[in-house]
Amino acid sequence: MSSSRPADSLLPRFALLSLLLLSCACRTVSGPTPLIWQVSGERNDIYLLGSMHVLRPDDYPLPAPFASSYLDAEQLVMELDLDDLQPADIQRAMGELGIDPERRTLAELMGEAAWSRALGAAEKIDIDLRTFQAYEPWVVSLLVVDLQMQRLGFKVEHGIEAHYVDRARADGKSITGLETVDQQFAFFDQMPLAVQREFLLKSIEDAQQVPQRMDALVASWKNGDELFLQRELVDSFADFPELYDALVSERNERWTGEIEKLASTDDDVLVIVGALHLVGEDSVVARLRQRGYVVRRFSD
C-alpha cells in the first residue's frame, strides 16, 4: 500500500493532530509555556519537545524555551532521522505499501457506495479523487488533508523537525530517529480495508474543517494548552480505537523504552515527537513518571 512524506506529518483530524501526534495539567505562568518537558536522567537531561510537523513561515519566531532546550542538548532525536531520509526512500516505501498488490484501483477498493460518497465530498473542497486511483484508501486519506494544509501555507519544510534539523546540521549535532518511514507507513497499511474506507471518508470530512481549525490548533500548541489538545486526541480517534493503539499507544510504549536508554548516557538530548504523544494518561510523559523519572514542564 504506499505517500510522499513521513506518515505522522500527514494524519487527518489525525492529520491535523499529528501535526501534533500531546500530558495534561495546564499551568498558569507568565507567558506561554510550550509543550516541552525536562526529564532528569542519571547523568544528563532529556528534553521532550511536542512538535507540529507542518507550520507556516509566520508561525515563527518560536517561544524562548524552544531555543533553550535545543542549545542545552548535544544530540537531536526525532521520530524519523530526517538528516538521512531521502525522497527516494519515501517513494520506495510508498510503492511497496501504498499500492494494492492486486492492482485494484481506488474506486474498486472503496466499493460503489463509498466511492460515490467520497467523490462528492472531495469535490466540495476542489479535490478530484480520480487522480489518486493508483493508491489504497489510507494513502489518499493522508494526501487529502495534506493538500488542504499546503493550500493554507502549512508545509513540512516550515515544521519543527525541519527547523531543528537545519540547525543541528549547521552546529554539528548528532541526529537520529526513533523509527523508519517503512514502519510509519506500515501502521496505516495494516488497517483492514473496511477501516481504510471509513478513514478516507472521515479524512475528507476533516479536510473541509482545516481552514477553520488550524489557527486555533497552532495557538493552543504554542501556548501549551494541553487540555485542548487532549480533547482533540480523544475525539479524533473515538471511531478508530485500533488505529489509536497502533499510532499512539504502542509507539508511546516503544519510545518510552528508547528514552530510558538515552537517560543513562552522558549527553543531554532533545527528543522531538508529535505533540499528541506527550499528553494524557497514555503519553510518553506519563509512562516515564510511572517508571520513576522526574519529569517537569520546561519553561526557560
Min mean pLDDT across 153-157, 167-171, 251-255 is at 153-157
pLDDT of residue 85: 65
- 36-40 vs 269-274, strand pairing mode: unpaired
pLDDT of residue 83: 63
Per-residue pLDDT tens for 262-291?
999 999 999 999 998 998 889 999 999 999
In this predicted structure, the answer to whether residue 80 has a pLDDT above a threshold of 70 is yes
What's the whole-model pTM score?
0.85
Mean pLDDT, range 175-194, rounded to an integer: 90
Query: Where in the chain are the domains?
Result: 7-297
pLDDT of residue 168: 96
Min mean pLDDT across 4-8, 190-194, 223-227 is at 4-8
pLDDT of residue 8: 45
Residue 255: name the closest of 204, 202, 179 by CA.
179
Cell numbers for 268, please give them.
543531554
In this predicted structure, the answer to whether residue 23 has a pLDDT above a threshold of 60 is no
Mean pLDDT of the chain: 86
Mean pLDDT, range 240-248, rounded to an integer: 83
Mean pLDDT, range 143-164, rounded to an integer: 92
pLDDT of residue 32: 62
Min mean pLDDT across 48-62, 148-162, 204-218 is at 204-218
In the structure, what pLDDT confidence band is assigned to residue 26 with cuts at 50, 70 and 90?
A: very low
Per-residue pLDDT tens for 94-153?
888 999 999 999 999 999 999 999 999 999 999 999 999 999 999 999 899 889 999 999
pLDDT of residue 10: 36
Rama region for 177: left / alpha / beta (φ>0; ψ in -120 to 50; rest): beta
pLDDT of residue 188: 87
